[in-house]
Amino acid sequence: MTDQHNQTPAPTPTAGTRAERMRMPLSTEVMKATAEKHGVCVRPFTMEVGDPDTGELRYVAVPCGSTVESVCLPCAKKAKALRQAQCREGWHMEEEPDFTPKPPTDEQTELPAFRADLVAAYRETAAVGDEGQADELREEIRSVDDELRASGMRGRLPSVELPAKKPTKRSTKRRQDAPNLPRRRVEKRTVGREYAGKFRPSMFVTLTCDTYGRVRDDGTPVDPSSYDYRRAARDAVHFSALIDRWWQNLRRVVG
């Protein structure tokens, strides 16, 4: 009779050489390929959901919703298909949205005054080095900020610390000797033009570099000797900068 407690488990079979083991697919790659095969998000977010009646907490996986295929291919394909359906079927607003802000309420005008007094007291307390009182005032200011946001106010609130002067910097560098770009008159509206009585398509912009030479269906050059590899590599390196500059010029033109 053998003692089962003294038996050693059988060794897990492994590949013979390190090269063979390195050629095995990683578990993360296998899971990602499986998710892409079934159209499931490859990088979902975990959210905590609570039942207000029972108080039970559970975790739910939420798709990331990325529109970039290199980040999440299934979510990007779903977003692209949805956008195409919206543009094809005209899922757009028919009337201009009303962005007129509502007038501030009495509570919204009283809380900033109370907050200003707290900020002044906090700065005086911090100047004399009373850290305990300063922490209490900071907590009180934080609670007032929460009340302001809960009341429906939007926008950033001033910092409790004294603002530091920063040098003015241009968002983009532009040659001063270059002529200004032409300005295009733009109507103040967000609803697009209507076509065929019901369609309001969005605008798709396709930016394509000049050809480097004829290629086959698989992307390989037909004539490698005449294909401009140097320019193709240069455009690939600087393409993101070209796109960024194109958007900057477009904003300058349309205002």
Q: Is residue 116 part of a domain?
A: yes
In terms of domains, do 28 and 83 share one? yes
In terms of domains, do 110 and 62 share one? no
Between the CA of residue 70 and those of 42, 43, 47, 112, 168, what are the distances in Å? 11, 12, 23, 45, 36
List the single range of 78-87, 122-131, 179-188 with lowest mean pLDDT. Answer: 179-188
State how far the Cα of 40 lies from the Cα of 128, in Å rounded to an integer.
58
| Overall average pLDDT of the 186-191 stretch | 72
Residue 228 confidence (pLDDT): 92
Residue 22 confidence (pLDDT): 83
Domain limit, last residue, from 60, 89, 118: 89
**Beta-bridge mates of residue 221:** 215
What's the predicted TM-score (pTM) here? 0.39
State how far the Cα of 210 lies from the Cα of 208, in Å rounded to an integer.
7
Residue 10 confidence (pLDDT): 54
Q: Is 233 within 8 Å of 212 (Cβ atoms)? A: no
Residue 8 confidence (pLDDT): 56
Q: Is residue 164 part of a domain?
A: no
Q: Is residue 209 part of a domain?
A: yes
Closest listed residue to residue 91, CA positions, set 204, 198, 189, 203: 198
List the single range of 17-21, 102-106, 171-175, 206-210 with lowest mean pLDDT. Answer: 171-175
Where residue 7 falls among pLDDT bands split at 50, 70, 90? low
SS3 category, 46: strand
Q: Is the pLDDT of residue 207 over 60?
A: yes
The total domain count for the chain is 3
Q: Is residue 156 part of a domain?
A: no
Q: Is the pLDDT of residue 219 over 60?
A: yes
Q: Is residue 5 part of a domain?
A: no
Phi, psi of 94 (to 5 degrees): -100, -15
Q: Is the pLDDT of residue 6 over 60?
A: no
In terms of domains, do 77 and 114 share one? no
List the single range of 2-11, 17-26, 75-84, 118-127 with lowest mean pLDDT. Answer: 2-11
How much is the mean pLDDT over the chain? 80
Q: Is 148 within 8 Å of 154 (Cβ atoms)? A: no
Q: Is residue 98 part of a domain?
A: no
DSSP summary character for residue 5: G
SS3 category, 251: helix
State how far the Cα of 204 lies from the Cα of 237, in Å rounded to an integer.
24
Q: How many CB atoms lie within 10 A of CB 232?
A: 15
- Cβ burial 169-202 (10 Å sphere, 16+ → b, else e): eeeeeeeeeeeeeeeeeeeeeeeeeeeeeeebbe
In terms of domains, do 133 and 73 share one? no
Question: Which residue range(s) make up the domain with 122?
Answer: 106-150
Q: Tokens for 21?
A: 């083991």
Q: Is residue 3 part of a domain?
A: no
Q: Is the pLDDT of residue 1 over 50?
A: no
Q: Is 67 within 8 Å of 33 (Cβ atoms)? A: no
State how far the Cα of 218 lies from the Cα of 48, in Å rounded to an integer.
46
Residue 227 confidence (pLDDT): 92
| Overall average pLDDT of the 69-88 stretch | 85
Closest listed residue to residue 200, CA positions, set 90, 49, 100, 88: 90
In terms of domains, do 248 and 214 share one? yes
Domain limit, last residue, from 89, 118, 141: 89
Q: Is residue 192 part of a domain?
A: no
DSSP summary character for residue 54: T
Residue 31 confidence (pLDDT): 85
Between the CA of residue 209 and those of 68, 206, 226, 235, 236, what are the distances in Å? 21, 10, 17, 8, 10
> Please, is 213 exposed, middle or buried when counting C-beta atoms within 10 Å of its C-beta (0-12, 13-18, 19+)?
middle
| Overall average pLDDT of the 42-55 stretch | 82
Residue 75 confidence (pLDDT): 92
